[in-house]
């Protein structure tokens, strides 16, 4: 790998961090490196300073960022999104000469990041709001009722509290574990969700294949497309989620 390739890879990582697209574990690793590697920290802070300037001005037209790079000149001119009568107002970002290349590199990293994900399926394309009926089989337990209401109302933070309370009493209840995993994915608590989903998949029950599907969606939400594809491929034609998995695979 050349120095240029390494810089490009680092810049894409910087963009992913600034765009809040890293998983919690990836963010922890990144921030630990910032604390331990002074050179890495210096490079990131320099990148961030220029990124913020560009991000503030380019946010209305981020999808055309690569075209912006092509049109940039020594003053780093670009067309603003504000149009007055028949003329397009121009803004000028003034950088020291040595920063032009860095700015273009940042724009390129943003562009690669955007275009790599532009045509990919999204979590919202496949996630459906499931309605649960926990109280049908319960003895009128108040916590069970609260969990059902919170889940069905998409109040996932509340639902998580109730599911945790219920699982203290029934730690091996696969139904409760499954609904808790759905809540965790909705709350972007990926590490705990992925761990719980793997545990559910180890059991030979109706929730095993359902857990595979939610696991695929969890990876999709994290933009971990390779893992999402692997899990979706593990859903067989005997599973109720097979058609949904095939549709997801066609998009990936």
Q: For the residues of the chain, what is the DSSP string, one character each?
A: --HHHHHHHHHHHHHHHHTT-S-HHHHHHHHHHHHH-HHHHHHHHHHHHHHHHHHHHHGGGGGGHHHHHHH--TT-EEEEEEEETTEEEEEE----TTHHHHHHHHHHHHHHHHHHHHTS--HHHH-------GGGGSS--HHHHHHHHHHHTT-HHHHHHHHHHHHHH-TT-HHHHHHHHHHHHHTT-HHHHHHHHHHHHTS-SHHHHHHHHHHHHHHHHTT-HHHHHHHHHTS-TTSTTHHHHHHHHHH-
Question: What pLDDT is stored for residue 233 in this prediction?
Answer: 92
Measure the CA–CA gap between 141 and 176, rounded to whole angstroms.
14
Question: What pLDDT is stored for residue 156 in this prediction?
Answer: 93
Residue whose pair of structure tokens reads 């998995």 in the numeric block: 245
Neighbouring CB atoms inside 10 A of 150's CB total 19
CATH number of 123-251: 1.25.40.10
Greatest Cα pair distance, the chain, in angstroms, is 73
Domain boundaries, the chain: 3-118, 123-251
| Sequential pLDDT tens for the chain (252 residues) | 454 555 567 777 887 888 777 888 888 999 999 999 998 888 888 888 777 765 555 444 444 544 444 454 333 333 333 333 333 333 343 434 444 455 556 666 655 555 555 567 788 888 887 788 876 655 668 899 999 999 999 999 999 999 999 999 999 999 999 999 999 999 999 999 999 999 999 888 889 999 999 999 999 988 888 889 999 999 989 988 889 889 888 887
Q: Which residues contact 139 (CB under 8 A, 6 or more apart)?
A: none
Q: Which residues contact 30 (CB under 8 A, 6 or more apart)?
A: 13, 17, 22
The model's pTM: 0.55
Which structure tokens are listed for 47?
């990148």
Burial group, residue 65, by CB count within 10 angstroms (0-12, 13-18, 19+): buried
Which structure tokens are listed for 233?
């491929």
Q: Are 43 and 99 in contact (CB under 8 A)?
A: no
Q: Are 54 and 47 in contact (CB under 8 A)?
A: no
- Strands 87-92 and 77-84, sheet pairing: antiparallel
């Amino acid at each position: 790998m050349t120095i240029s390739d390494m810089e490009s890879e680092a810049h894409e990582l910087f963009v992913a961090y600034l765009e809040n697209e890293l998983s919690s574990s990836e963010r922890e690793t990144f921030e630990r490196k910032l604390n331990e590697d002074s050179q890495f920290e210096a490079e990131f802070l320099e990148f961030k300073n220029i990124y913020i300037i560009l991000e503030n001005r380019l946010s209305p037209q981020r999808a055309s960022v690569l075209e912006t790079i092509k049109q940039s000149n020594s003053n780093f001119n670009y067309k603003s999104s504000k149009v007055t009568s028949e003329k397009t107002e121009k803004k000028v970002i003034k950088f020291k000469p040595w920063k032009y290349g860095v700015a273009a590199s940042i724009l390129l990293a943003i562009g690669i990041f955007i275009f790599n994900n532009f045509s990919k399926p999204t979590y919202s394309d496949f996630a459906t709001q499931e309605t649960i009926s926990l109280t049908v089989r319960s003895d009128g337990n108040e916590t069970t009722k609260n969990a059902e209401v919170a889940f069905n109302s998409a109040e996932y933070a509340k639902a998580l509290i109730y599911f945790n309370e219920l699982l203290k009493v029934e730690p091996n209840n696969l139904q409760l574990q499954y609904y808790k995993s759905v809540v965790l994915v909705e709350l972007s608590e990926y590490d705990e969700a992925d761990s719980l989903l793997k545990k559910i998949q180890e059991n030979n029950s109706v929730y095993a294949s359902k857990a595979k599907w939610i696991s695929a969606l969890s990876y999709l939400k994290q933009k971990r497309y390779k893992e999402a594809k692997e899990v979706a491929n593990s859903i067989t034609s005997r599973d109720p989620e097979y058609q949904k998995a095939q549709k997801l695979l066609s998009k990936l």
